[in-house]
Amino acid sequence: MTLLEAIKGAPNAALPLPWLLTAGQPTAAQFTAAHAAGVRTVIDLRDPMEPRPLDEAATLAELGVAYINAPVVGGALSDQVMERVLAAVRAHAGTPTIVHCASANRVGGALLPFFIIDQGMEEQAAIDLAMAVGLRSAELMEWGLEYARRHGGA
């Protein structure tokens, strides 16, 4: 089973880089399949107070998958939040990793600087990829682009 097949059915499931899965909230079964396909880290961008269909940290702990919660919350989009997300993604770059929120909207915005700064993408290509991943919010897009521009991006 490929990485993308493992989370088939999750909202906006995508494989923007060979090792990076992105999606809206996966199910316990999708996490289990992703682990079987090689995923060893999950980066959750949801606020811990958001309603959830499962105890994600416990589910992943049972599988032996590292769980990182780096909440991205509208109205509180800061460099500190972005740096926490980027540090988590960079620490696991090259190894099968899932980055998710509820719908993948926040995932797209938070990954824009990674695509531009770390992957060397042109700004428009990064925007197109972030939108393919699930980005729909102008606020999240501007947050990601402004961060990338101020930190050595395009």
pLDDT per residue as tens digits for the range 7-46: 999 999 999 999 999 999 999 999 999 999 999 999 999 9
- Asked if residue 124 belongs to a domain, the reply is yes
For residue 89, the domain's CATH number is: 3.90.190.10
Residue 19 confidence (pLDDT): 97
pLDDT for position 44:
98
- 36, with CB counted inside 10 A (0-12, 13-18, 19+), is exposed
Instruction: Give domain status of residue 76, yes or no.
Output: yes
Confidence of residue 75 (pLDDT cuts 50, 70, 90): confident
- Determine the average pLDDT of the residues in 67-86: 95
pLDDT above 60 (res 71): yes
Q: What is the pLDDT of residue 55?
A: 95
Q: How confident is the model at residue 97 (pLDDT cuts 50, 70, 90)?
A: very high
Residue 80 lies in a domain: yes
Any domain includes 7: yes
pLDDT at 153: 63
114's CB contacts (< 8 A; 6+ apart) are: 86, 89, 90
The pLDDT value recorded for residue 74 is 83
Q: Please give the tally of structural domains in the chain.
A: 1
* Parent domain of 12: 3-149
**CA-closest candidate to residue 67, choices 22, 103, 31:** 31
Q: Is there a domain that residue 154 lies in?
A: no
Label the pairing between strands 14-17 and 20-23: antiparallel
Rounded CA separation 79/22 (Å): 21
Judge whether 29 lies within some domain: yes
Which band of pLDDT confidence, cut at 50, 70 and 90, is reported for residue 152?
Answer: confident
Q: What is the mean pLDDT of the chain?
A: 96
Asked whether residue 74 is assigned to any structural domain, the reply reads yes
pLDDT in tens, 101-129: 999 999 999 999 999 999 999 999 999 99
